[in-house]
Amino acid sequence: MSSSPAPSSRPPMVDDPHFPADPYPTYAWLREHSPAHRIPLSRGGHGWLLTRYADVVRALSDERLSKNSDLIGHGVPDPYAQSRLSANLLSLDPPDHTRLRRLVSRAFTPRRMERVRLRVTAIARELIAALPTGTPTDLISGYALPLPFRVICELLGVDGLIEREAFHGCVLRVFAPPAGTPAEHLTGHVADLERYFTDLVAAKRRRPGEDLLSSLIDAHSAQDGSLTEDELLSMTLLMLVAGYANTVNLIGNGIHILLNSPGQAHKARADGTLLPKAVEEVLRYESPIERVPTLVAREHVSYGGVRIDAGEVIYACVAGANRDPDRFTDPDRFDPHRPDIGHHLGFGQGIHYCLGAALARIEGEVALSELLNAFDDIVQAVPEDALNWRSTFLFRSLAELPVTLTRFPPR
């Protein structure tokens, strides 16, 4: 079997430098002409990109697909996948995934999440008070980035144990290296990251508290035992990266969308009950996670009319699936009132559905609400084609979002 014949004209493909600025015409083309599309992998060999909603949903629940990168049949071994830091929910299959998720989920209680809402609000207001008015300012570095970073550091209890720039640089060297970086060049950076988190967990053991990392260190049940040292290190990394990068993208993308969707910012400011719906639509319309990390075929499977052999890599494209017209009416229109708003894949699907989804929703709602309520006017300070979109294979986000802010006049 093979995909449909492709016409000679097509938009920029995923390895084109012009692709990150607007990937959606490419995903639309792929859904129609090549729904299982062959793509090069940075560690050598090739994989397959799925862009149709039905295929992505099926892949995320397909027991014939594994998260175990050791099953990959070609290319250079991934140094991260071979490190101690890979033993987390994103890279494990049942039964290890099931055991680990049960242990970790006990830390994400509704009571803890509601306490977090109060802190998110306080931090958002503190950051907003420091934003300048009347002159262009970057909302990514001044608001969207520090807000979730401070929240996740407080939640994990690592305030005073971690420095933002050092952490950010360490993570970017592993998870967002320059395009074309050979996988073997990442080995030293992965070792640095492993030492970083080993020291972090050791410091928290010396200073335990009523925080999430302390809960992970103490996680134990008669049924599931406790987290191994490697699992503890890896879950700490996952929570810091996921609780930070995903939410930065959600907030930044959400602000950008509201500024460029006529009337939406005004409607959300006038009716606070619209914010939860707006956040859900941001998750669909401009997904913080563009593609779900590696899935490996255990046996030959067929997607999009293409045979994919055992050992081949599949990437489920959430951003493409969330704009599929076969699932969403008028998918390229931002509409918080759409009736099927909750069916997006912004937090994944199946057993790998994001454990921190409730936290991300809280942060997104509070961040947008506080910003809209603080300023009478928020105007993008550069034209759309001047924005710099940062794209890795998993995330697509704004590097900067310059805006000019005007506060409400005194009453």
What is the full DSSP assignment across 332-356?
Answer: TS--TT-TTGGG--TT--GGGS-TT
Could you report the per-residue pLDDT of 34-47, keeping only the tens digit for each? Answer: 999 998 876 677 89
Give a yes or no: residue 391 inside a domain: yes
Q: Classify residue 14: in a domain, yes or no.
A: no
Between 171 and 329, the more confident residue is 329
133 part of a folded domain: yes
Tokens of 242: 């996921």
Band (5; pLDDT cuts 50, 70, 90): very low
Query: What CATH number is attached to the domain comprising 154?
Result: 1.10.630.10
Residue 65, domain member (yes or no): yes
Residue range 279-292: mean pLDDT, rounded:
92
Res. 7 pLDDT band, cuts 50 70 90: very low
- For residue 390, the enclosing domain spans 19-407
The reply to whether 285 falls in a domain is yes
pLDDT for residue 3: 39
Q: Model pTM?
A: 0.88
Residue 382 has pLDDT above 80, yes or no: yes
Residue-wise pLDDT for 120-169, tens only, equals: 999 999 999 999 999 999 999 999 988 988 888 888 888 778 777 777 77
User: What pLDDT was estimated at residue 8?
Assistant: 45
Query: Running DSSP on this structure, what letter comes out for residue 140?
Result: I
Element (H, E) at 97: helix 96-105
Three-class DSSP category at 189? helix
| CA distances to 43, 194, 300 from 48, in Å | 14, 30, 13
Residue 3: inside a domain: no
Interval 362-381 mean pLDDT = 94
Query: Does 6 map to a domain?
Result: no
175-212 burial: b if 16+ Cβ within 10 Å, else e = bbbeeeeebeebeebbeebbebbbebbeebeeeeeebb
Number of domains in the chain: 1
Q: Confirm whether 38 is domain-assigned.
A: yes
